[in-house]
Amino acid sequence: MTKGKITAILSNLLQVEVDGPIRQNEICYVLKAGEELMAEVIKINGNIAFAQLFEAGSGLKAGDPVRFSGELLEVSLGPGLLSKNFDGLQNDLEAMPGSFIQAGQRTPALDLDEEYEFTPLVEPGAVLEAGDAFGEVPENALKHAIMLPFKFEGKWEIIEIAPAGTYPLKHIVAKVKNDKGESRELSMVQKWPVKWPIKNYLRKERPAEIFRTGLRVIDSLNPIAEGGTAYIPGAFGTGKTVLQQAIAKNNRAEVVILVACGERANEVVEIFHSFPELEDLATGRKLKDKTTIVCNTSNMPVAAREASVYVGMTMAEYYRSMGHKVLLLADSTSRWAQALREMSNRMEELPGTDAFPVELPAVIANFYGRAGKVEMRNGTKGSVTFLGTVSPAGGNFKEPVTESTSKVARCFYALSQKRADAKRYPAIDPLQSYSRYLDYEEFQAFAAKNIESDWIEKVNRAKNLLSKGIEARDQISILGDDSVPLDYHRDFWKSELIDFAFIQQDSFDDTDMNSSLERQSFMLNRVLDICDKPQEFEDFSAVSAFYKKVINLFKQMNYSDFESDDFQKFNTELEALFNLQSTEA
């Protein structure tokens, strides 16, 4: 085992002289007052290693011994990950005693003595490759596949497999051998390095199907594809965290992984308290049953922010390998990038823009590239849909993290300070935002088959009406109500109708907080029908009064169950209002 000693210390960056071979991203431990502090090798120069310390290093000094583990930064993968709260290094937070994490304190990610009902899927003689399932266990509402470890190369034959029954995680449930005569014993748990993508799939597909979030401004106007990527930049107070939580509550994914990367502790505590009480709309069970939280808040070690996003992605890929639909949310990737900048500066590397590492765009691209929809060798399909938030300083979208992310993420949801100040939520600007998936032929074919043949055309019409309304609003603001033609007022109020009736949603209302694609299609058609009807008014005040009545009826429809008696009643009143307006005209 390689050993070393500290030769220099700069905050949480350690310079270590080593006496043997080591690897990039290898884990090492520093002895301090009887405790071993965990660090990761991030640079090697001859017999000198630079390691980032994941814990507070006060009291360390030159000459302190360092032990290298020979292992990379890895996570434990197996049944029991769901409903858990981890820190950035996959320590089980609920298993830790006390209110604060102590230096050197570690807890196992999984309880190896916890028992699960194992069902074998193959018989002795079956030949498997890495990632192939040989058994399964129930995990909350999911079927959790027990797979041949991803690290195994080549083909392995099942020699023995445990019969159906209840076993602890550490129990040997199978024995395998390869053509070289090597044999291995397998439990229900395996490990995988977080910096390495899990690539046991047959092929990665081009995203085509809409990932349903329940939010109309996303699903209809700027949809994200299942297995797609998106990012949410926005200044402080525009609702990035709230929006992510709304998506986590309303989506139809089978697994949700929340990564709190440098966020304030009170926001994460709110998630801890609220999620166990929320109901999953897809299954009717508690939302926490399908959720894992990786928490590395602003008052926890900065270096572990980098680890936390990779831990979350690795667990997401693990469930994708079973054929599950996974949603990964990271808040905020800017703080992850700031941690990278901090370490780069301490190592005196050549700085890029705003002192961020030169390789920052490549690091972000590689991470986003791990998302996607894949097909496994057995024909099952799984996906990781990734949505990250970015916190640009001062709301500057030209800063390096936002610009680097915009080059790789296919969806952009711009949070507007003006909309937030006006209490128009979600505060996503429908015109500044975009979805590149709307240009994919596969995506267009899916929309035409499952929603409407001309659905994308209608989405573009709605955006054009919004754009015309903004232009009309500016003219009215400059020239005054009496100094512009009535057409300007009509255009303005049509855009207000789309905004109030379709874009805005009430997250405190159980009905309006989540809108199905069928309902969204109906409401968008209804709004466009209203906008297309011929309308004659005496003056601008008549335009305002009429559209306020229309908006009120639409909002009552939004608060009513789709196609219920109340819903149909308000729809009928809406039609009668227009017939009356046409008669009066």
Contact (Cβ atoms closer than 8 angstroms) between residue 524 and residue 557: no
Which 3 state secondary structure label does DSSP give 157? Answer: strand
Q: Which of 150-164, 294-308, 331-345 has the highest mean pLDDT?
A: 150-164
Give the residue range(s) of CATH 1.10.1140.10 domains in the chain. Answer: 455-584
Answer whether CATH 3.40.50.300 is correct for domain 111-188: no
pTM for this model (two decimals): 0.94
Q: Which CATH number fits domain 455-584: 1.20.120.1460, 1.10.1140.10, 1.20.1440.60, 1.10.940.10?
A: 1.10.1140.10
Instruction: Name the class of domain 203-435.
Output: alpha beta
Running DSSP on this structure, what letter comes out for residue 219?
A: I
What pLDDT shows up at residue 507? 86
Count of C-beta atoms within a 10 Å radius of residue 166: 10
**Mean predicted confidence (pLDDT) in 287-292:** 92
Spatial distance between the Cα atoms of 538 and 472, rounded to a whole number of angstroms: 18
Sign of the Cα pseudo-torsion (236, 237, 240, 244, in order): positive
Of the candidates 402, 457, 460, the one whose C-alpha atom is nearest the C-alpha of residue 434 is 460
In the chain, where does the domain assigned CATH 2.40.10.170 lie? 3-72
The residues, any chain, with a CB within 8 Å of residue 477's CB and separated by 6 or more, are none
Tell me what pLDDT residue 277 has: 77
**CATH 3.40.50.300 residue spans of the chain:** 203-435
Domain 3-72, what fold?
A: Thrombin, subunit H (2.40.10)
Domain with CATH 2.40.50.100 in the chain: 111-188
Asked if 557 and 570 count as a contact pair (C-beta separation under 8 A), the reply is yes
Note the pLDDT tens digit of each residue in 295-332.
887 666 777 788 999 999 999 999 999 999 999 999 88
pLDDT of residue 584: 55
d(CA 325, CA 321): 10
Mean pLDDT in residue range 518-525:
96
Among 247-251, 433-437, 517-521, the least confident range: 247-251
Instruction: Give tens-digit pLDDT for 19-52.
Output: 999 999 999 999 887 889 999 999 999 999 999 9
Residues belonging to the chain: 585
**How many Å apart are CA 369 and CA 526, to the nearest integer?**
38
Confidence grade of residue 11 (pLDDT, cut at 50, 70, 90): confident
